[in-house]
A and B are shown apart, each in its own frame.
Chain A
Amino acid sequence: MDLKDKLVSSFMAFENNIDIEHPVHDVRTEAMKNFETKGFPSKKDEAWKYTSLNSLQKIDFSIFPKQENALEYKDVKKYFIHDIDTYKIVFVDGVFSSHLSETTHDGVDICLMSSALTKPMYKQIIDVYFNKVASKEESLTTLNTAFSKEGAYIYIPKNKMPKKPVEIIHFATGNEASLMLQPRNLIVVEENAELQVIERHQSLTSNEVLTNSVTEIFAAKSANIDYYKVQNDAATASLIDNTYINQKSKSFVNVHTFSFGGKLTRNNLNFYQNGEYMDSTMKGVTILGEKQHVDHHTLVHHIEPNCESHQDYKGIYGENSTGVFNGKIIVDKIAQKTNAFQKNNNILISDKATINTKPQLEIFADDVKCSHGCTIGQLDEDAMFYLQSRGIPEKEARALLMYAFANNVLESVRIPELKARINKLIAKKLGVNLGFDL
């Protein structure tokens, strides 16, 4: 049985364990119908031209983990930003781990989707926001919607700011030979409120994992959100990340995506600007080797006038790795005075590495500033000579230059401990010890 059939037939089993009378279940049922009709995307779909899900669909993934697994904090500590205090929403094989987590209801709600979807006190929020910005057409998003049950739920009321950043971490323990996870996150940040989130998916063994995640983010007027995605998973772990962001006037939302590992990673990052004078920023550093594959698909939809968007993605591709960057910008006819900037710079450090990069601009307004630029190159030989002439060996010199290349993306990381962690990951990924912490 292929994966689609298995998912479709599992839906009934899933329904046995949830409240099918709840209004959300109508949403799930609709979504399941859509997935059943469309199935997994194939290379015939323009948006999936360079990323194939074929081999993943042949794997016999467990849809629901059979047993609960406990992890000790000391064994997974290194995956947390443990040198600062954070709220933590942690899942082990898709199941909430209360002893690894630190949730709160103190003025803000940082807790679980399963509570939000079942408890009456959250009903009003769920009615207004759940599945309101996520696509009802895109098949993988609807697949996630159909099975939506667990994930992170964050609600920050007007003028509030949590005392510390929130870490959302999903561990896969490898107790199943192959496991499919479908976390569903809902994040609502009300007027003039602030939030910082760090999200990570981590497989702890070499067993196959496929995560199809959906995150909906709502930034109300003058809200400020920093979202960091750390993707440095095992070579047998694949991630399809579908993130949908709805922004209102004067809000700022920044998403940083650090892609350093995993087997196949697909980031569908979608911004919808429903208001004026706001700013959406998407930045990414991708450093790949082996046979890793990362596909960044971004969308910014400028719906109203006087807004900005900034995209800056840097990629370093070695060995047999492959990368995709597809940046779509839509500027509606009424969205005058839009400033939309997009940059994608890549360095290929192996003859066998590939990058496909494509800007996709659909501009219907006439008074706008839009720029885009893609580059693919090698390291600057003059710069190499400069570093080597100071006694720095070739390998280390290369690493320093690659670090410098990725640096302006790191500059905007506002959590210093996270930045330090990312620097260490980069040094590790580049295989060097430079005698100081990057």
Chain B
Amino acid sequence: MLKINDLHASVEDKEILKGINLEVNAGEVHAIMGPNGSGKSTLASVIAGKEEFEVTKGNVVLEGEDLEDDSPEERAHKGVFLSFQYPVEIPGVSVTNFMKTAINETRKAKGLEDMPANQMLKLIREKAEMLEIDRKFLSRSLNQGFSGGEKKRNEIFQMAMLEPKLAILDETDSGLDIDALRIVANGVNKLKSKDNAVIVITHYQRLLEYIVPDFVHVLHNGKIVKSGGKELALELEAKGYDWIKNEATV
């Protein structure tokens, strides 16, 4: 589904990604771990098409199509979803209205009519229930005054609404207490299918107890320095990142 080939990316002439290779197939969950500043969030942003980053070499291919020239919205229309570490507050625009716009713009891009209002409402209700989101929450302004947990849950709600092929969860566990973490993880697990894929970006192993990865990759200094199964996450949790750093420099 996703193939990343020798990806190099810079911001203001500073190279952050220094040759990433990664292949993610449909039905798989990949975890990308690594110390702060290793390039995890940059990788997520580059896949989603943030213009601030310049791809200097290599490419990102989704279902055989090079995404290089695609804007963030075009990537979204093709099924890429990024759950943000820091979702932006949009005062005056309710969660419901925001989702209506996002869904109908995506449908428009695919040449489809707007989703009928009653169908939209049904979908919103269904997904909100799945994530144990209160009805009142949906009429609040997007992310405005939301707690850390509410913001993350709302990100996963958006993911549930948009049903992406490839979902990238950037530090979705940060700022969550254990109950919120469980709800968010359950939501992601319910959305998982053999036709989509998930990349979980995290600093800690904690989230991976709930969203169990098929593969774990360790990012260090802009490169994937180690890959393995889910047991690698446990090893990192026990030993910290220093041994990886040392191994990488040897």
Contact = CB atoms under 8 A, between A and B. Distances in A.
Interface of A: 380-383, 385-394, 396-397, 400-401, 403-404, 406-408, 410-411, 434-436, 438
The binding surface of chain A is classed by DSSP as helix
Given A435-B100, A435-B104, A391 B91 contact: no
A403 B158 CA distance: 21
Given A389-B49, A391-B105, A392-B102, A382 B73 contact: no
Closest 4 CB pairs of A and B: A407-B92, A391-B76, A388-B72, A391-B106
Interface stretch (B1-9, B82-90, B188-196, B202-210): B82-90
Nearest to A397: B73
12 contacts: A385-B72, A387-B88, A388-B71, A392-B102, A401-B90, A403-B92, A404-B90, A407-B93, A407-B141, A408-B91, A435-B105, A436-B97
A226 B75 CA distance: 47
A329 to B, nearest CB: 26
B72 A396 contact: no
A388 B73 contact: yes
B224 to A, nearest CB: 23
Contacts of A383: 88, 90
A410 B101 contact: no
Contact of A381 (B52, B82, B103): B52
Given A385-B72, A400-B101, A390 B49 contact: no
B88 A386 contact: yes
A404 B73 contact: no
Interface of B: 45, 48-52, 71-73, 75-77, 80-82, 84, 86-93, 97-98, 100-106, 109, 114, 141, 158, 162
B81 to A, nearest CB: 8
A33 to B, nearest CB: 50
Given A386-B84, A390-B158, A436-B100, A400 B90 contact: yes
A436 B89 CA distance: 19
B69 to A, nearest CB: 15
B92 A436 contact: no
Contacts of B51: 381, 385
Contacts of B98: 390, 400
Given A386-B87, A436-B97, A393 B92 contact: no
A394 B76 CA distance: 13
Contacts of A401: 90
Contacts of A397: 73
Contacts of B158: 390
Nearest to A434: B101
A236 B59 CA distance: 53
Nearest to A401: B90
Contacts of B45: 385
Given A391-B105, A391-B109, A400-B101, A435 B114 contact: yes
B107 to A, nearest CB: 9
A379 to B, nearest CB: 11
A400 B102 contact: no
Contacts of A393: 73, 105
B111 to A, nearest CB: 14
A176 B15 CA distance: 67
Given A390-B102, A391-B103, 4 more contacts: A388-B49, A394-B71, A394-B73, A438-B92
Given A396-B105, A435-B104, A436-B100, A389 B88 contact: no
Contacts of B100: 435-436
B16 to A, nearest CB: 16
Contacts of B162: 390-391
A380 B87 CA distance: 13
B102 A391 contact: yes
A314 to B, nearest CB: 12
B129 to A, nearest CB: 21
